[in-house]
Amino acid sequence: MISASVGCSQKSGKNKRAESLKSQEQVPTIQQLKKQKGKIDKLIAAEQDKLIVLVKLPNSDKLMLIKNDKFPDEVETTYNFLKDKEGRIILAGEIPFSGSGDWDITYKSYFDKNGKLFAFERIAGFFNSECTKEDGDAAHEDLIKYYTSSGQLIDSTYTLTDSKKRPLVKSKCVFNYDYPYTIIFDRDTYKKANKINIP
């Protein structure tokens, strides 16, 4: 009885180690995630005509599908979606409209084949920063975060530059347009939260 019990315990220990190794193997490296994001970015640039574009109008919950680049006069938010060959959304871009023209912001969510967020990027350009070398120049922020499929942050990068790509000192800038935003870690949850009615 004792030897049988020990044998069972050893087997159980081996299974746990195997499961631990398996779970470790499934965690992508930062290099893999950057490569995956880079592929999607190249697809966006090469296949602009394949983007699905929806807009949210002021005082309306319904989204309008845009065809042939014909936008309505008033737009509150523009959404851009890119699908892979299997028809799964791999990129969701959200672009709020700036009525003043003093800022522009884009939020990009990158999803893997299982619908889990693996990267998020916030790109912002804004005037009145008080930290650019030339009057009337805009400051440009680019924040990228990389995640595991369970939503754990692996790595992030942040840059702040002027229009000539010269670095700016963050502590000297005024951020009048840092609006709150939410990072959603699942494609279906993203669609539901934003009332996106596309497969």
Half-sphere exposure of 185 (CA within 13 A, CB side): 9
Q: How far is residue 144's CA from residue 123's CA, in Å, rounded to a whole number?
A: 9
Q: How far is residue 12's CA from residue 6's CA, in Å, rounded to a whole number?
A: 10
Per-residue pLDDT at 99: 86
Per-residue pLDDT at 149: 92
The helix (H) or strand (E) run that includes residue 36 is helix 30-46
Per-residue pLDDT at 22: 45
Taking a C-beta distance cutoff of 8 angstroms, is the pair 96, 109 a contact?
no
Q: Give pLDDT tens digits for 14-67.
A: 455 445 444 444 778 999 999 999 999 999 999 888 999 999 999 888 899 999
Domain range annotation of the chain: 28-193
CA 51 distance to own-chain centroid: 16
Predicted model pTM: 0.85
Residue type, 51: L
